[in-house]
Every structure is written in structure tokens, then in C-alpha cells.
Structure 1
Amino acid sequence: MSRSPVKQASLGDGLSDKQVSMISIAGIIGAGLFIGSANAIATAGPAVLLSYALTGVLVLLVMRMLGEMAVTQPDSGSFSTYVAKAIGPWAGFTIGWLYWWFWVLLIPVEAIAGADILHAWFPAIPAWAFTTAIIGLLTLTNLFSVKNFGAFEFWFAIIKVVAIIAFIAVGTLAVCGYWPLADVSGVTHLYDRVGFMPNGFGAVITGVLITIFSFFGAEIITIAAVESKNPAQKIRRAINLVVYRIALFYLLSIFLVVALVGWDEPGLRSQGTFQYVLSKLNVPGAELLVDSVVFIAVCSCMNSGLYTASRMLFSLATRGDAPKKFAEISGGGVPRAAVLGSTFAGFAACFANYAFPGQVFNFLISTTGAIALIVYLVIAVSQLRMRLALKKQGSEPAFKMWLFPWLTWLTILSICAVLGYMFYLPQYRYESLMTLLVTLVVLSVGISVNGKRKRSGQAVVTMRAKIE
């Protein structure tokens, strides 16, 4: 894949201020919060609040570091571009393709989840037909104008935010003893079943491994903001709001869950976190309400996943790390070839799921197990190197990481510790090894491509020149 960089094409700026704001607010609200949080609760008990808090702090620090780089230089390739500049083109190649791989595999995961919900409502129609329809519809929203993506994501975000706020309102009334449909009150479930930390602190760290993937996607705002006016200002604002989103959407809502129901009740896993709580509170139509919101959430995640994958593929192509065809832009400012290429990969994974159930698709998903942590790690390393390079030049970024370099180093060491813990735990070892395998394969290709460029006499830009 010895390709020279192509001239940077221009993406549109069709995302409005309202759309970018809602994408930044609701970007981390997915099915993992509404349903998947039950696994984290069952693992750590009420101490899952510590798991979410630790994960939230880690994500907050990573986003601040990414924000420092993105405000200085907004780019559709986001961190993969910064990694290429700070560490080397081979690193940008590797992390860009790994990130693309993660999101194109998320497309079928979310589409299949949404199809299962629709199939339960309309059993006469096969699930695969719903999966195809969902992918096809959301591909169309991304194919012609970024405004279409923004409009869909805006309303998806509105629904998710309203649902979370409504749940918090109902849960708060119940905890305070003012909920009229059920005789519940207080927070005794936080400690009445073998204490607050029933499975020890090790379970809290295991909970971090589960919860961290619920937060993955917050970085999308640094990609989406590029297709709006004044991207640096929007990125700065979104990064500053991360802490409030984490506190409101995750910590407060999960606090209400573990306060209202026992952490070890089987219904949490069988029904899903929010549905089980609402059913215990005798909320009419709880199952339909939650299924509807979850359906919106998975469509939102898939919509964002397709958008993100296409922009990352576009960025790779503009740097010569992917076929030049993917760098082409339509009259509406959309990289259509990149959208279609990402959709095709998602369709291929869907076909594998239905043609070989429980085999190929599960293997593919296992290769993404630790990609989120690898992305966070290279973001931290890149910020460290770029900031030190700026310091040598006697300049500083306008938007700074706190307590540099100490918090940056703490973040790097923490991510390495979590990655090491994944390899240590038997239940995560397989997917950790699979992620390592695919990472090594992509890395070897990246090193080979970079080596061919050097041998062919292409210019290698130094760190100083890149930053300047």
C-alpha cells in the first residue's frame, strides 16, 4: 500500500450549532447504559459507582488531552492525525485503521440489536430483513449531506436525553418516597446485601473494563466539529461539558438504579437495567418505553459509527494510508466512497453473523476488545510528545491539559495498568489477545508502508515542522 498523500479535499460545514451541541451532549449515551450496565452492576455491586467514577475520570483526562490537540488543529482524522505527527506516520496508520475497524464492526452489532427489537414487535418479518433496512436507511442519511446525519443525530440525541432525564426524575421521586405507584424509598440497597463492595475492590476494576466501552465515542465530537463553523470553539465547549455529562447521565442514573433495586436481582440482567427498575416501580408500559428508547439509542450509535468510520477512512486516504478513491468528496461535501466502503464492511460482518451464527462474527467482535484502551493510550502519548515539542519552541497551546505533565503520565500509567489487568483476567484474555493480534498485523503493514515511502524518497516531516 505504497501511496502518496493526496491533496486535502474539503469537507462541508453543514452541521449547525444545535446539532453539534446535541452530538456532544448525547454522544456517550448508548445501549450500554440502558442495558449493558446490568453486567457491570452484577460484577461490582453498588460499588459499580466507583467503577463509573474511575472510568469517567480517565475519559475526562483523555478528552482534555485530545481537546488540547484538536483546538490547536481541528482535523477530520482527529487523533489519528495527531498520532501520525507526534509519534510517526506508521502509528497514525495503525491507530486510524484500528479505529475504523472498531466502528465498522459496531455497525452490525447495533443494527442486529435494533433488528431484534423490531423482530420482537413484528415477528412475521425476519430479523435479517430489519438489519438490512436499518443499515440501508442510515447509509442514505450519511450519503448525500452531512446535514442529514446531523438532523437524524440531533433528534436521536433529544430522545435519549429526555429519556435519561425522565428516568432520573422518576428515580429521584421513588428514592425520596414520593412515587405513587410503588412503596419504595431510601437508599438501603446500597449496603444491605453484603455491604457496598460485596465482591471486593478487584471487582471494581473489572467493572472499569465493562464500563469503559460505554464511554467510548465521546471523542466523536472532535471529528464532527470539523464539519461546522468555528470548530475549535465547539470542541473547547464540548470538552468542558464532559464532566457534567458523565456525572448526570452515568453516575446519577446508576446511583438511582443501585439504590432502588438489589444489585444481585436476576431481573437486572434478564430484562435490562432501566426496564427492570421501571417495572419494579410499576411504570405502565415500561418494556415498550425502554425498548423504544434502546432502539433509538442503537440507531444513534450506528449512525454515529458509520459517520465516524467514513471520516476516518477519508482522513487515512488524504494521508495516503488508504486508496485515493476514499478521499473523493461529493458536491455536498460528503466522502461518499468512504461512506459506501464502510457500509460494505458492515454488511459483510452482518452476512457473517447470519451465515455462520456464533462463529465468524464473534471472532471479529473479539478483535475489538481492547481497541478503546489502545486509542486512549496513543492519545495520551501523542499529547505528551506534542506538548513537549511546543515547550521546546517556547510556545503553549490555547487549550491546556491540567497539571501537565503529571496528569498525562498518570493517565498513561493507568491505561497500561488496565490493559495489563485485561490480560491477567481469564474472561478477558482471549479478546485481549485477539486485539493484540489484529493490532500487530495492522502495525506491521503500517511500518512496511512507511518504510516503502522512505525508500521511494517521499518527504518525511519532522516533529517541529509538523507542529508548526
Structure 2
Amino acid sequence: MPHSSTLETPPRQRSGDSLSHGLKQRHLSMIALGGVIGAGLFVGSGAGIAAAGPSIVVAYAVSGALVMLVMRMLGEMSAAYPSSGSFSAHAERAMGPWAGFAAGWSFWVLLCTAVGLEGIGAAKIAQGWLPGTPQWAWVALFMLVFCGANLAAVKNFGEFEFWFAALKVGAIGLFLVLGGLAIAGVLPGTHSPGASHLGDFLPNGSEGLVVGLLASIFAYGGLETVTIAAAESQDPVKGVASAVRTAMWRIALFYIGSMAVIVTLVPWNAKSVVTDGPYVAALRQIGIPGADQVMNVVILVALLSAMNANIYGSSRIAYSLVERGQGPKVLAKASGGVPRIAVLVSSLVGFGCVLLSYWRPDDVFAWLLNMIGAVILVVWIFIAVSQLLLRRRIERQAAKRPVVRMWAFPYLTWIALAGMAAIFVLMAREPDTRLQLLSTGGMTLFLAAVGYAWQRARARS
């Protein structure tokens, strides 16, 4: 007989306590506000500027529009069906367990690997301040702090993210104010550059714009965390709705706005944009003393924030998957409202990725990085397809108008899917991203096949 979970989520297999509701609205609001600001914006945007020149603003605007549509779709489903499994639970509800399995475990691999990468990045900064200290020791210290905080109570994750996000928002807000004053020529000791750096808008033609677009896509990490966290808040629906409604101006201000300030202040082909980072280059241009160390502090905060969020996110995705019968039952054990074994396992896998970067950097670790390279795009496709299938059901089941609704349904959903398909084509054209695309595709197909086999076995039993 066909599996019935395409109509409803299967009964949960609870073990021990359920998750708590320890996150407050101020936690969710700040996670939504600052979670979007990651190290990829502060550091990774330099390569995009070097390739696209001033047209990087267009690249971030295009990718930002796509991200905004994805966030709206995810918000619609998460407000209707709050779950710590977020898009994985929605995919299962829409398409069956195989889809939830593939989307959830591929994202878990991505988050665990990201924990290791962020730990390495943070350790390099700390080692620069204290030369001679081993990087692995710094990574271990950071991992212990955030693993311990996540083991204790969800409110600890919320407090860390609240203050991390406040620092990031404050830093980028100050950067935008100083940059705007410098562009206007009213900052002491500076003169307005006008449009002198914007003349060659497409210096490397459409190919450069494509490289910039691909770089910008993967800078938008962290948007999913707020829908995962909302399930443990005091008012999940209100939290998701607030996050989704502010997504547009957050993306426009933090990403597109800061890119516009940078390319206006600094020549796009300045070596410092890549070697020192675009934000350091801009701050030096307007005469801020110690700009590199100021940004090192901000980048360290961004990396530690991402570590904390990804330990949290990976443990909740794993917990939700196993609670729905799609993994080792031990990971679904919760005590004190926290899935402690899932937190420990996710942290240990992240630290294992760090060890691989030292022991097998050229083969196993490189393969792992390629495998997660396009996971976020795969997740976005699952979100869009799930929203297409669930929208009518949400409207039928809702006693009133849904709190969050996708704009111009189904047209903008189809446009978003077309945009994702176009990005896949662009990735297939570039040698570096082509390998990522193939590796991620292989992992996703493998997980989907395992999930489908499990689904069929469960249906027969």
C-alpha cells in the first residue's frame, strides 16, 4: 500500500522529554536580524568584487531577490507547521519520507562540516593574536564552549546569538554610516570619490558577473536557522512571521547596501580587496586606524556566531529526523528540553572535519568540501517544490488566512525554481563549481535512494 505520509506527517517517535520553548521573542528577533550576517559576507565577498567589479551590487541584488523568495516560501510553511525539522519536515509532508530524509541529512552534513570550517577560521584569527599557540587547541576550546552552552539549555544558545547578532548588526551599521558619510564627503579628512570607481561597471564582462553571482549566492547562509529555532520559542508563528517580514530590508541593507558602499569607496581591482578583505580596504580608505584588527574582531564574532548556530541547527535537524523515524533512535533522546546526544554527535563530527583538514587535506577533506558545495541550492529546491505542493493544503486546513503567504503564488515560486535551475547551469559551466555540483548531486541522490528504500520497507511492514 502507498505510504500515507505524503498527506500527513507520520506519528512522532518520542524518546524522553520533548524540546523546550526556552527562546524568547527578543532572541528570535535578533537571530533573524543578525543571523544573516556571516563571515562569508565579510571575507568571501572580496573574490566576488574582484571578478564582477562594481556589478557585484547587481549580483547581490539578483541573488538577494532569490533568497527573499525562498525565505517567504519557507516562512509560509513554517508558520503553518512549526517544526525543529523546518524544510526537512515540510519536504516529508509534501513529498514523502524520502524527501525529508535527503533534505535533512544533506543539510546536517553541511552544518557539521561548516562547524569545523568556522572553527578553523576562528582559530587562525586567535593564533594571529597569540603566535605559537596551536590551531587545534583553539578549535577545541571554541567547540567546548559552544557545545557546552548548547548542552545546558536552549536559552544559552539564544543568549549567545542575541549578543553576537547585536555586535554584528552594530558593526555593519557603523560601517554603513561611516561609508555613507565618506561618500558624501562630510567625514573629516576625506573627500567624496563620487562615481570615479564605478565607471567600468562590468570590467570582466558577463563572465565576471556570473562568478560574482555564484559567490554571492553562498554568502546568504544562516537564513534557515530562525525557522528551526522558532519551534522552540514561546510563540513560533509570531517569530517566523516577524523574521520573514523583515527579510527584505535586512538583505537590502546588510548585503546590497554594504557592497554599494565598498565599490564606491575602493577601486574594484585594488589588491587589498582580496588580500585584506573588502571591509578592511574600505575602512582604511576612509582613514580608520587599526581597521584590520577591528574587522578581525568582527569576523571572529561572525565565525563564533556561526559555530554556535550550526551546532544548534545540526542537532535540531538530526533530532527531528530521528523523531520521525529516519535515523538512529539514540539521537532523539532529549533531557531538560535539549537533545544532548544529538548536540554531542554533531559537535564531534564537526571536530572530526577539523582533524581531516590536518590529516587528509588534499583528498578526503577536499572531497568533503566539494560534496557540501551546492547543498544549499538543493535545500532551496526542496523548499520551493514543497511550497508548491503544500500551499493548497495550508489554505484548506487554516481556519483563517495564513499568517505568512507567498507573494503571487504560484508564479513567483516557479520563477524562483527557474532561477535555481539557471544557477545550476551556471555552476556546470565553471570548472571549480562543476565538481561541487556533481559531488553534491551524488550525495543527494544517494540519500534520496536510501530514504526511498526505507520508505518502501516501512510501507511493506
Q: Could you tell me the TM-score, scaled by structure 1's length?
A: 0.93
Which whole-Å CA distance do the structure 1 matches of 2:14 and 2:343 have between them? 19
CA contact (8 A) 1:187 1:260 kept: no
Structure 2 partner of 1:442: 447
CA contact (8 A) 1:5 1:321 kept: no
Which whole-Å CA distance do the structure 1 matches of 2:31 and 2:414 have between them? 30
Deviation at residue 200 of structure 1 after TM alignment: 2.2
CA contact (8 A) 1:38 1:272 kept: yes
Residue pairs, 1:231-310, within 5 angstroms: 231-310=236-315
The equivalent position to 2:325 in structure 1, one of 320, 329, 351, is 320
Structure 2 partner of 1:463: none
Structure 2 partner of 1:89: 97
- Alpha-carbon spacing, 1:137–1:391, altered in 2? closer, same or farther (3 Å): closer
Q: Could you tell me the TM-score, scaled by structure 2's length?
A: 0.94
Which whole-Å CA distance do the structure 1 matches of 2:352 and 2:110 have between them? 14
The equivalent position to 1:384 in structure 2, one of 369, 385, 388, is 388
Return 121-130 or 350-359, whichever deviates more. Answer: 350-359
Which whole-Å CA distance do the structure 2 matches of 1:29 and 1:240 have between them? 17
Indicate whether 1:370 and 2:374 are aligned: yes
The equivalent position to 1:427 in structure 2, one of 428, 432, 441, is 432
Which whole-Å CA distance do the structure 2 matches of 1:177 and 1:390 have between them? 52
Per-residue CA distance 1:272-295 (angstroms, 9 max, x = gap): 111111122221111110001100
Which whole-Å CA distance do the structure 1 matches of 2:427 and 2:279 have between them? 28
Q: What secondary structure sits across from 1:282 in the alignment?
A: coil
Amino acid at match of 2:430: L
Q: What secondary structure sits across from 1:77 in the alignment?
A: coil
Indicate whether 1:339 and 2:310 are aligned: no
Q: What secondary structure sits across from 2:219 in the alignment?
A: helix
Deviation at residue 183 of structure 1 after TM alignment: 4.1
Per-residue CA distance 1:244-286 (angstroms, 9 max, x = gap): 1011111111100000011111111000111111122221111
Q: What secondary structure sits across from 2:325 in the alignment?
A: coil
Which whole-Å CA distance do the structure 2 matches of 1:40 and 1:56 have between them? 14
Q: What secondary structure sits across from 2:268 in the alignment?
A: coil
Deviation at residue 111 of structure 1 after TM alignment: 0.3
Which whole-Å CA distance do the structure 2 matches of 1:370 and 1:229 have between them? 34
Indicate whether 1:72 and 2:77 are aligned: no
Structure 2 partner of 1:118: 126
Which whole-Å CA distance do the structure 1 matches of 2:327 and 2:439 have between them? 23
Which whole-Å CA distance do the structure 1 matches of 2:397 and 2:103 have between them? 27
CA contact (8 A) 1:175 1:185 kept: yes
Indicate whether 1:169 and 2:177 are aligned: yes
Amino acid at match of 2:361: P
Q: What secondary structure sits across from 1:171 in the alignment?
A: helix
- Alpha-carbon spacing, 1:114–1:390, altered in 2? closer, same or farther (3 Å): closer
The equivalent position to 2:233 in structure 1, one of 228, 247, 266, is 228
Amino acid at match of 2:407: W
Q: What secondary structure sits across from 1:188 in the alignment?
A: coil
Amino acid at match of 1:430: L
- Alpha-carbon spacing, 1:300–1:391, altered in 2? closer, same or farther (3 Å): closer
Per-residue CA distance 1:95-133 (angstroms, 9 max, x = gap): 000110110000010000000000111012111111111
Which whole-Å CA distance do the structure 2 matches of 1:320 and 1:278 have between them? 51
Which whole-Å CA distance do the structure 2 matches of 1:392 and 1:300 have between them? 39
Which whole-Å CA distance do the structure 2 matches of 1:399 and 1:58 have between them? 17
Indicate whether 1:6 and 2:10 are aligned: no
Structure 2 partner of 1:462: none
Which whole-Å CA distance do the structure 1 matches of 2:357 and 2:411 have between them? 45
Which whole-Å CA distance do the structure 2 matches of 1:142 and 1:38 have between them? 33
Which whole-Å CA distance do the structure 1 matches of 2:142 and 2:448 have between them? 33
- Percentage identity across paired residues of the two chains: 41
Which whole-Å CA distance do the structure 1 matches of 2:11 and 2:31 have between them? 34
CA contact (8 A) 2:73 2:406 kept: yes
Amino acid at match of 1:206: V
Structure 1 partner of 2:148: 140
Which whole-Å CA distance do the structure 1 matches of 2:211 and 2:281 have between them? 23
Q: What secondary structure sits across from 2:246 in the alignment?
A: helix
CA contact (8 A) 2:183 2:191 kept: no
Structure 1 partner of 2:356: 352
Q: What secondary structure sits across from 2:218 in the alignment?
A: helix
Which whole-Å CA distance do the structure 2 matches of 1:102 and 1:389 have between them? 30
Structure 1 partner of 2:206: 201
Structure 2 partner of 1:461: none
Deviation at residue 393 of structure 1 after TM alignment: 7.6
Amino acid at match of 2:41: L
CA contact (8 A) 1:77 1:311 kept: yes
Residue pairs, 1:4-43, within 5 angstroms: 6-7=13-14, 9-43=17-51
Which whole-Å CA distance do the structure 2 matches of 1:393 and 1:111 have between them? 44
Deviation at residue 443 of structure 1 after TM alignment: 1.5
Amino acid at match of 2:14: K
- Alpha-carbon spacing, 1:78–1:359, altered in 2? closer, same or farther (3 Å): same
Which whole-Å CA distance do the structure 2 matches of 1:202 and 1:235 have between them? 37
Which whole-Å CA distance do the structure 2 matches of 1:206 and 1:58 have between them? 17
Q: What secondary structure sits across from 1:227 in the alignment?
A: coil
Deviation at residue 42 of structure 1 after TM alignment: 1.0
CA contact (8 A) 2:372 2:436 kept: yes
Structure 1 partner of 2:4: none
Indicate whether 1:53 and 2:61 are aligned: yes
Which whole-Å CA distance do the structure 2 matches of 1:375 and 1:338 have between them? 21
Give unpaired runs (5+ residues) of structure 2: 1-9
Q: What is the RMSD of the two structures over their aligned residues, measured on CA atoms?
A: 1.7
Which whole-Å CA distance do the structure 2 matches of 1:392 and 1:204 have between them? 43
- Alpha-carbon spacing, 1:394–1:357, altered in 2? closer, same or farther (3 Å): closer
Which whole-Å CA distance do the structure 2 matches of 1:106 and 1:427 have between them? 19
